[in-house]
Structures are given as C-alpha cells and as structure tokens.
Amino acid sequence: MNVRAQIAMVMNLDKCIGCHTCSVTCKNVWTNRAGAEYMWWNNVETRPGPGYPRQWENQNRYNGGWALDGGRLKLKIEITKNYKPPSMEDYYHPWTYDYEVLFSEKQSDQQPVARPISLIDGESMDVTYGPNWNDDLAGADLILEDPGLDGLQKEIYQQFKDVFMMYLPRICNHCLNPSCLAACPRKAIYKREEDGIVLVDQNRCRGYRYCVAACPYKKVYYNWKTGKSEKCVFCYPRIEAGQPTVCSLTCVGKIRYLGVLLYDADKVLDVAATPEVSQLVKRFIDEVLLDPYDPAVVSVAKESGIPDDWIKAAQRSPVYKMVKKWKVAFPLRPEFRTLPMVFYVPPLSPVVTTFERAYGAKITDIMPKVNELRIPIKYLANMFTGGDTMLIEQALKKLLAVRIYERAKNVAEPGLADKAKVALAEAGLTEADAEEMYRLFAIARYEDRFVIPTNPKRYAANPYVERGVAGLP
C-alpha cells in the first residue's frame, strides 16, 4: 500500500441553480487576459446539451482519455495519427461589442447599435455560438448532440412533456491517472506530490497541444498569445493557505465541498484498467480511496510522511463522507479511465409530487420508477457511474431517506417517526448518518464544507519529481 493524500472536491448538483457566479469569478481571477478570452476553466453546462467545448464527451471525435490494449492502458491519441484537439469553432469565437460607437456615432433618427467584434482580431463578426449557448434550453435540438442520452430515445426528450434539465459545473478533475500528463512529450505537466493538484510548467511547455487532445474532459486550453497550454490550477495559492478555491467560495448555492482524500497509489493503474466500466467506479471507491480511520492506513500514511493534521483533515473531510462513507457522490465519465478527483452528487430532480403521493410507503415505493423521474436514472448513470444504474438508485434513495427523516422530525403526523426509521434502514443509513448528511447538504457551515490543511509543501520530498504514465512517482 502506497498512501497518498489529495485535495478533492464534491459538487451537489441538487443545489446548483446555474447562475454562473463560479465561472465569472474564476474568469476574473485567472483568465481575464489576452490569449485566454475563450478559456473557461470553470463552466456550467445545461444538460442535456452539447457541453463546452461542443460534444467534449464524444471521444470518437476527439480521441481523448485511455483505452485498453490487451488489458493494458494506452492513450487513445497516437501523436502522429489521430491527434484531434478541438478547434476554435468547437469552443466559440470570443467577442465583445463595439461600445465606442455608442459615444462617437453622429446624431441621427436611429438608435446607435454596438455590434459584435472579435476579441482576437478586432474585426466585425456574427455571433453564432457561445460557451452557454443552450442555457436552460433542455428541449432544443442541441440535446441530440449529448452523448449522455446514448441508450435512450433522444427524440422523446425533445417533447415538451418529457423535457428535463440539470446544471453541470465542470473544472479540471485533477485526476489520479491524468492522460494530459502522459501525452506531454516535454513533461511539462506534473501532479504535485503534496496535494495532487495537476499543473502545467509554463517554462517547459512548448504548446504542442497534445495535452489538449488527450484530456477527455477538454479542460486543457491553448493560449494563442503565449503559445502555451493552460488549465485550472485548483487555486493552489489559496489551497496552500487553507482557503477554498474561488469557485467554491463564491458559489451562491453552496454546492461545493473541499477536503482531503487518502488513496492507494499502487492501485491506480490496476483499477483504471478494469475491463468492465460498470465495475470501475465501485473499485475506484472501494479499493483506490482509503478509509482514514483504518489504523493500517493511518500507519502507512505516517510512514509516507503525511502529517498528522492532514490525516485528521481526511477524517473530517466532507468529500470522504460523501464519496467513500455514504457513496452518494461519483466521478464524471469514469469510462475515460483517468480516475477523476472531482465528484458529483446526482440531482434528485423534481420528484416532490411523486414523493408526497407515495409518502408513508416503503422507500422502494417512494423511490420513483425510471419513467417517473424527470431526469432518467439511465442518463445519470451514463454520466457518473459508467452505466451502473444501481449505484445511482442507491444514492438517490439515501438522499430521499434523509428528507423523510427530517420531515418526520418537523411534521406532527402519527407514525411518521417509525416510517422514517424504516426508510433509513432500507437505505442503509443510521440516524447519526441522516443527521450528519442533513447538516452537510442543507445547513453546512464554512468550516464543515471546506476542510483544507495548510502548508502541504513541508512534507513533499520533491514536488517537481519526474512522473510516470499514471502521474505518480
């Protein structure tokens, strides 16, 4: 066992309101400069939809991520053969407006108009697409471009009565097995030993863009001004000081949680090479991610030089509780085999009417059937569990059970408390679990959502050590 520590994130999609505050604050802090106009290190997509860049999930188009070759992992891109980074059109041509004309236009009977101009060359242009072009348009033709609807009848979900939507915030996943790192011939991309954050060394980068093509999430960008690749840095200067990332701090819905996860580096490649994608998520959570309360894990962690305050932070981590303990948060698109360290709590979707109608029955009856859910379980499974609908159903049952339990505490209805206990038992939760889940998901304080130890560099022997194919020494 080779115990490592990493700062990880969970996003609760049930609370995301799609306000884009996270995107705007990230933009103002990190990419508000020439060459980075089209970069959104943090973006919020309306799903179903094409995403940003367009159809980023379609690896038949981009060849990102990992594939199995005789049971062994290999990059899907072959540098000289099928190198397909997104074009500017796949993102969007960034623009502003010619506001000067509003002040300089000669007086006339017509209202002056500030027309769009390119942020790259300053020429006039027509706006045809943007990073949030399909905001709140879940029923538009653009949903046909969503690979998450594979296995579902896409045309049905274009009809008004069957329309559903959700918001999906995305940042770099700072993966345990990053394909961007493995694809870089300059070894300019490295995974920090002290906290797992994946960064691009701007001094080594030569702008070959192999990392852009290799990242299946398309969260590495090419700066046309500097000729270098750039990506989300997980606000590492703030993390080092024990402060949350800017996107987490400014999130209006308080959907983001940060904490330490302990993992077994020796298991990374073996689990990433799991033949059945539906089993990959289970193995990732059960075998790679470790229990910080396990005495054997704690002992090896200390031998590896992980400080006591980091181990204690891992035990208090909201990410550990949601991902490992309760199993209600899952990685995005695990079939890319990068083992992301950003996790998502799937949305319950508007099921209140169904819940009220079946209230008091067993939780298996309260849990809506797939055709009753506004957001199909199959769609969520395609996105978060490699198609394993059982994991999604179990997570949603736990979230519903907590709602039943809290309702029983606050609504005077005969027999409700007993029914709540039955619901918790069927979901595999204790009353203590329900109380803690309620505190974290509904009324969490700052110090509960962000458990970030400070000064991680003190125990990193060499944070710039040359990395292997899995981003590990």
Which helix (H) or strand (E) element contains residue 431?
Answer: helix 431-441
Residue 363 has pLDDT above 70, yes or no: no
The answer to whether 46 and 18 have CB atoms below 8 angstroms apart is yes
Instruction: Please tell me the chain's helix, strand, coil percentages from 3-state DSSP, rounded to the nearest 5.
Output: 40, 15, 50
Residue 410 has pLDDT above 70, yes or no: yes
**DSSP label at 241?**
T
Q: Per residue in 255-275, pLDDT tens?
A: 999 999 999 999 999 999 999
Show Cβ contacts of residue 228 under 8 Å, excluding neighbours closer than 6 positions: 200, 202, 205, 206, 207, 222
Collapsed DSSP state (helix, strand, coil) of residue 408: helix
Show Cβ contacts of residue 283 under 8 Å, excluding neighbours closer than 6 positions: 271, 274
- How many angstroms separate the CA atoms of 194 and 457, rounded? 6
Paired with 29 in beta bridges are none
Residue type, 194: E
Please report which residue ranges of 85-209 form alpha helices under DSSP H.
Answer: 88-91, 101-104, 179-183
- How many angstroms separate the CA atoms of 138 and 122, rounded? 33
- How many angstroms separate the CA atoms of 128 and 92, rounded? 8
Which helix (H) or strand (E) element contains residue 399?
Answer: helix 389-410
The answer to whether 51 and 61 have CB atoms below 8 angstroms apart is no
Instruction: Spell out the domain ranges in the chain.
Output: 1-81+133-348+452-473, 93-128
Q: Per residue in 188-236, pLDDT tens?
A: 999 998 899 999 999 999 999 999 999 999 999 999 999 999 999 999 9
Q: What are phi and psi of 158, to 5 degrees?
A: -85, -15
Q: Where are the beta strands (DSSP E) in 227-341?
A: 228-231, 256-264, 330-331
pTM score of the predicted model: 0.91
Q: Per residue in 310-351, pLDDT tens?
A: 999 999 999 999 999 999 999 999 999 999 999 999 998 755
- Cα 423 → chain centroid: 29
Position 377 confidence tier, pLDDT thresholds 50, 70, 90 = confident
Residue 100 has pLDDT above 70, yes or no: yes
Residue 353 has pLDDT above 60, yes or no: no
Rounded to a whole number of angstroms, the distance between the first and last alpha carbons of the chain is: 14
Which stretch, 47-56, 253-262, 396-405, has highest mean pLDDT? 253-262
Q: How many helices (H) and strands (E) does the chain have?
A: 20, 14
Extract the tokens encoding 312.
Answer: 């204690």
The answer to whether 266 and 472 have CB atoms below 8 angstroms apart is no
The whole-number average pLDDT for the span 231-253 is 95
CA distances from 404 to 66, 367, 413, 420 (A): 41, 11, 12, 6
Q: Of the ranges 118-132, 260-274, 457-471, which one carries the lowest mean pLDDT score? A: 457-471
Q: What is the pLDDT of residue 372?
A: 64
- How many angstroms separate the CA atoms of 209 and 180, rounded? 9
Strands 330-331 and 66-69: unpaired
Q: Burial level of 469, CB count in 10 A (0-12/13-18/19+)? A: middle
Q: What are phi and psi of 397, to 5 degrees?
A: -65, -40
- How many angstroms separate the CA atoms of 261 and 197, rounded? 12
- Name the one residue in this structure whose structure tokens are 């066992």: 1
- How many angstroms separate the CA atoms of 81 and 78, rounded? 5
Task: Name which residue leads in pLDDT, 412 or 186.
Answer: 186
- What would the CATH number be for the domain defined by 1-81+133-348+452-473? 3.30.70.20
The whole-number average pLDDT for the span 395-408 is 87
- How many angstroms separate the CA atoms of 308 and 292, rounded? 11
- How many angstroms separate the CA atoms of 331 and 348, rounded? 17
Extract the tokens encoding 368.
Answer: 């809506």
Position 416 confidence tier, pLDDT thresholds 50, 70, 90 = confident
Q: Where are the beta strands (DSSP E) in 173-297?
A: 189-191, 198-200, 220-223, 228-231, 256-264
